[in-house]
Structure 1
């Protein structure tokens, strides 16, 4: 990675650490996601700098409370499917993506898209989107059999299959714990289920 990119990542880390000073575990998670995303990017031929930058910044707005996230999402015109109050835990991605665009204008627009999509996904995920989504689920701080199984698939399965398995695991967790399922989740699942059967 070129020196200017390394320096930019260090600058982002410093700003992130300052923002998350009251949430050290969240900061550690973000470092883990960035490292994991860069590794996945190398394995699957995705830009490592973009992956690391998106990984560092993906939870930028996790420091905001639910009310503030809802207010910002409404102000920015972010469309929420279903119940906004039930989906508030998913809003930190789309809200941060729009805010970070102004804070880090030199970053590739694809970085902000990956940040926006790391919570609920989309039917047209790019390789970078998939890398960040997966890294969020399998970074070293994640525990559980699901994380181990997904880590073992890295380099063995295609990126698309790894994403599908990761997304499916997320849906299984939502259902098994009786949590609110975002309305687009089934559409996204079915899209990739159909794609892998052809």
Structure 2
């Protein structure tokens, strides 16, 4: 299936025009970041487009769907099942859109919580979802400016900091994988000065 076919199918499957526009915007943002950080623009384009393809699944059904797809369910997922749309998105991208590239599937699966040892594509999709032009939250303009002048790992640490602060302010649980992802990057910076 080519990109245009994926686009048409996604538009039909998503039950919300806003989500479709968001998906296109994440795809476009991912291409720009991929170009800047010298990774595959085509992979970024596809991963960005399909990152929310599981948002068609009602939140109340996400845990059952995750079980059907043998996706690991953490305790936090029981309380915040919306987090499962990312790994489920990877499964759906494979099943319904024919994606077999493990890098694209990983980027889709990790776009909400991250993990230690993320690839550059994983990071770009995480960031693109966070800063695409339709996103509007306190501090986004400053974060976009910060992104323009820093390296990918420094940007990711700050992105995790922002995400964790937001979660704490909402008095929600922080996914353990997000903590591991942030700690891994901090450790890399201390070890290698990156």
Aligned to 1:139: 132
Aligned to 2:9: 15
Return closer, same or farther for 1:75/1:153 CA change in 2, 3 Å cut-off.
same
In the alignment, is residue 150 of structure 1 matched against residue 135 of structure 2? no
Deviation at 1:10, TM superposition (A): 1.5
Deviation at 1:80, TM superposition (A): 1.9
Aligned to 1:91: 84
Aligned to 2:72: 79
Deviation at 1:145, TM superposition (A): 3.6
In the alignment, is residue 112 of structure 1 matched against residue 105 of structure 2? yes
Alignment RMSD? 1.6
Q: Residues 61-80 of structure 1: CA distance to partner in whole angstroms, max 9, x if unpaired?
A: 11211232111111122112
Larger deviation, residues 100-109 vs 138-147:
100-109
Structure 2: 5+ residue stretches without partners:
none
Give the SS at the match of 1:91: helix
- Output aligned runs, 1:1-198, within 5 Å: 8-20=2-14, 22-105=15-98, 107-198=100-191
Larger deviation, residues 180-189 vs 35-44:
180-189
Q: TM-score, normalised by structure 1?
A: 0.90
Distance 2:23 2:99 in 1: 20
Q: TM-score, normalised by structure 2?
A: 0.91
Return closer, same or farther for 1:174/1:152 CA change in 2, 3 Å cut-off.
same
Deviation at 1:107, TM superposition (A): 4.8
Larger deviation, residues 84-93 vs 149-158:
149-158
Distance 1:76 1:176 in 2: 32
Q: How many residues align?
A: 191
Structure 1: 5+ residue stretches without partners:
1-6
